[in-house]
Amino acid sequence: GRGPHVRPGDRGGWDSGAAGGRHGGPGPGGYHQPDPITSDTLDLKPGNFAKYVLDGNRAWLVQVYHDGSERCHRAAPAWEQTSRALDGIAKLGRINLAHYPALAAQVAPKHLFSATHADYKDLPVVVGFAPGCKKTWCKRKYRGVMKENKLSAFAMDRLLRYADVPLHTRDTLPSFLESEPEKVKFVMFSSRSSTPPALLRRAATEYEDDVSFARVIHASADASYWIKKFNVVAPPAVLVMKEGNARVVEHEVSGKDKLKALLIEHKLQTLPQLRVSNVKSVGCQPGGLVQTCVVLLGVRGLDAFERARSTLRDAKASLQSTTEDFATLSTALEAKELAFAWVDAKTQASFCRAFFAPSDAAGAAACGKANAKPRVVAMRFTHGPDVIEHAVYDGEMDARAILSWVAKTSDAEGGSLREANRGDARFPELTAPKPSAIESLREWKTDATATAYDLAEELMYICVESGPVAPMFLLIVGLLVPSFVRRPKKSKRVKKKREVDDDAVVDWSDDDTLASLKGSQSGMVVVMLVDGFKTDQEVFKRLRGSFWREPILSFGTVNIAKVHAWAEFAETIGAAASTIVIWHPSRTKYRIIGNGETPHPELCSKIEQFLDGISGDLWVEGNWPSTSNN
């Protein structure tokens, strides 16, 4: 008997389910058999489909195909290209409709309410399974053309939800490079507009705490600018910017192996911040290759801590050059047996306290406080994955003195080191930060939006593919549901007029807020100096309204009649009430851009200069005024 994949009248044609004319030679019984469509991707069968696709925790693209289909033969090269482009980020597999029609019906039914497989003329059908999808009902059908870039984008956008890598120009790149100074900047230059490599988007998602990524189209008209500004000669190239104005430029980055090597080498700052998300990459944990980890403890943003961080960064840099004084440490650093990092003791107070002996209650209590001096500690991992030996440096913040102490600590037999076992109350272990309510809400909103989009798309195609049955069913449900929902009674209370002025500017005249702004260093801050409520803020309100969409700008006022440090700062720079000042993200540079009487367009023009990164010569050296908390 003829199987379900053979259509009446097909005997030897290229599109026959049981035979194929022009794609093969004679088979059993004299009929021409279609040439098999070979592939390096996995052949999925009833015996292995659940094991690989549903029970695994990977993203999958599954193609239902037929050897006799001309469309499937034409799509084969794009399928193989997609497999190579995704390079294991998402797995690819195929189901042969002729051999496994029942499995094909589960994976690629004709429509949502159908128990039969997709029509032969609609092949190939590609279906996506996101990580964690354990049933076939949570699959997502791909409805685009069979091209590598489209299939790859479907896998990364809809299945993996990878972060995109934004495209920048010569006008916007300087602002990007100045944003988020704690992060490494990784910029990829290409000769034409194309989808970013899958490896780059994966890195942008996994390294989001440590690296900011960008893409640039290297146009010939801008070639001289890129050479002069960043020494980028020609694409494909990669520009890496790190703290201390360190710059790395690599040309001819055309293969994934070289790109991967660059990502691994430059995913961390010279002196990285130690977090739960990167502790394995930094190596500061027992059981790995690193034998000694030197960590600076302190509160980010405080002047003393920033100086100590610069000192420890210089100490590490000196080991990367030829030095006979610390040859052993240089060798250990090159062999990745020695690591350097810093920890924000304000958010990791328990980690900080673990290094102080029970008798040093004062040192432990000072962890994370603004008045605590930065401390350098060393952790040694030589007794297995559950034991840490550690010591606290108590000398001057001098690079050579610190390295001398590290050398002695690394070679110590244990007399000067304290031992902590995993499970002890004072075992140095980082804690994962809890997301704020706003961050949780933003994440929920992103997931809900993506789910709603998927659902709306599926409902639309259900109506198209299943004929009149589905639309009628949805219409009946839509008419009946409201009758079961009790409408709430309208409140007769008169809504009170809002007492909050939507145009009010945020007042920053308290020590905690000013300390937070100084420590964040995540963008530029625009401050208007006011004298109580006597200062006219109308121009400043309009200025804030013009740039409220800029994520790297913050606007607020400081009452110089209330905050003594800022009154002294105003007197030093000769500024009166209503003066408007913009601060560099480092909080060590500023610029007066006008006052309450400066025309609004003039103020906007000046801020645009700073956003475009063409204001390098306009900054004035000067530190953010220190209050009692900063």
For 155, 306, 316, 444, 506, the CA distances from 131, given in Å and listed in that order, are 11, 42, 40, 18, 43
Paired tokens of 472: 């009628």
Domain count along the chain: 5
Containing structural domain, residue 90: 36-159
489-500 pLDDT tens trace: 444 443 433 333
Q: Are residues 245 and 138 in the same domain?
A: no
Q: Are residues 406 and 311 in the same domain?
A: yes
SS3 202: helix
Q: Are residues 300 and 394 in the same domain?
A: yes
Residue 225 lies in a domain: yes
Q: Are residues 472 and 373 in the same domain?
A: no
Torsion, Cα of 184, 189, 190, 196 (10° steps): 10
Q: Are residues 283 and 403 in the same domain?
A: yes
Residue 175 lies in a domain: yes
Q: Are residues 129 and 207 in the same domain?
A: no
| CATH assignment at residue 528 | 3.40.30.10
- Model confidence band, residue 464 (pLDDT cutoffs 50, 70, 90): low
Least confident of 278-292, 385-399, 482-496, 588-602: 482-496
Residue 491 lies in a domain: no
Residue 527 lies in a domain: yes
Q: Are residues 126 and 192 in the same domain?
A: no
- Model confidence band, residue 188 (pLDDT cutoffs 50, 70, 90): very high
Predicted pLDDT of residue 236: 93
- Model confidence band, residue 434 (pLDDT cutoffs 50, 70, 90): confident
Residue 349 lies in a domain: yes
Residue 17 lies in a domain: no
Per-residue pLDDT, averaged over 406-412, amounts to 84
Report the alpha-carbon distance of residue 324 to residue 312 in Å, rounded: 19
Residue 426 lies in a domain: no
Q: Among 235, 265, 295, which residue terminates a domain?
A: 265
Structural Rg of the chain based on CA atoms: 31
Paired tokens of 220: 């010939």
Task: Encode 341-370 in three state secondary structure.
Answer: EEEECCCCHHHHHCCCCCCCHHHHHCCCCC
Q: Are residues 528 and 596 in the same domain?
A: yes
Q: Are residues 212 and 115 in the same domain?
A: no
Q: Which of 257, 277, 259 is nearest to 268 (CA)?
A: 277
Q: Among 379, 397, 421, which residue terminates a domain?
A: 421
Report the alpha-carbon distance of residue 630 to residue 102 in Å, rounded: 68
Name the H helices within 248-348. Answer: 256-265, 279-282, 303-319, 327-334
Q: 443: alpha, beta or left, given left = phi > 0 and alpha = psi -120 to 50? A: alpha
Q: Among 119, 140, 159, which residue terminates a domain?
A: 159
Q: Are residues 324 and 397 in the same domain?
A: yes
Q: Is the pLDDT of residue 407 over 50?
A: yes
- Among residues of the chain, what percentage have pLDDT more than 70? 82
Q: Are residues 186 and 309 in the same domain?
A: no
Q: Are residues 153 and 175 in the same domain?
A: no
Residue 61 lies in a domain: yes
Report the alpha-carbon distance of residue 104 to residue 119 in Å, rounded: 11
Paired tokens of 292: 């000694």
